Amino acid sequence: MRRYLRVVDPDDLLPKWSPDMTTFVLIPGACHGGWWFEPLARRLREHGHQAYSVTLTGLGDRAHLMTASVNLDTHIQDVISLLENEQIEDAVLVGHSYAGMVVTGAADRAADRIDALVYVDAFVPGDGDSAWYLTNDAQRRWYIDGASADGLGIAPMPFFDPRSTPHPLASAVQRLRLVDPMRKFRRRDYLYAAEFPESPFASTYERLRDDPDWHAHALKSGHNVMKDALEELLRILLETVPTS
């Protein structure tokens, strides 16, 4: 019996572009790399969309790039460079926790490439805000105590995934500067993790939940939304896909 080897073109394994395909850019929070969002990225690809799980400079497998100069502007440029190099248009930016700062900055500086914004239990800054300014005293103590070893990176909390790495302190204290803080996008969603004790994001949810420019959602989840509410997060992201 003859056996034939079938050669698979790698391009056949990738989702083919269609008018209904949406590109999601997933940005993890402090101390985390793209691995945190990868399970969600796989699910989005299964639904026929494109998804990029970003690892910001100085974190994860890019931890060797940590220097005193890595700040919020660096992380915003990471996302803008991805959008430009991959020629992404009409992206849905998704940011968890600290990455709300990055989402807002990238949306302000590369608005022509962005369609919608999703904040997953995250900061929603205005012009002149920083993560340090927006968070609560418990988180500020973590920033300072966590960076006490070298003054450079905020050490992961003990219960974080072992893949977590120190987060650049400068990115948490740098103020965000916006050119057009009132810019409109097709859709903006806020996901609040209602079971996060001492959440620094409760006031943000209270502010946005009755705002007609936002879709606000309260999740039965702790701050680790990927662990506690992956299916709900996936459902909401699929709702952000524009209808033809």
**Could you give the residue numbers annotated as active site?**
97
What gap in Å lies between CA 187 and CA 115, rounded to an integer? 7
Q: Is 45 helix (H, G, I), strand (E, B) or coil?
A: helix
Cα atoms found within 13 Å of the Cα of residue 105, Cβ hemisphere only = 27
Residue 17, classified by CB atoms within 10 Å of its CB into exposed (0-12), middle (13-18) or buried (19+), is exposed
Contact by Cβ (8 Å): 228, 4: no
- The span from the CA of 196 to the CA of 33, in Å, is 21
Q: Could you tell me if 27 and 56 are in contact, meaning their C-beta atoms sit under 8 angstroms apart?
A: yes
Query: What's the DSSP call for residue 173?
Result: H
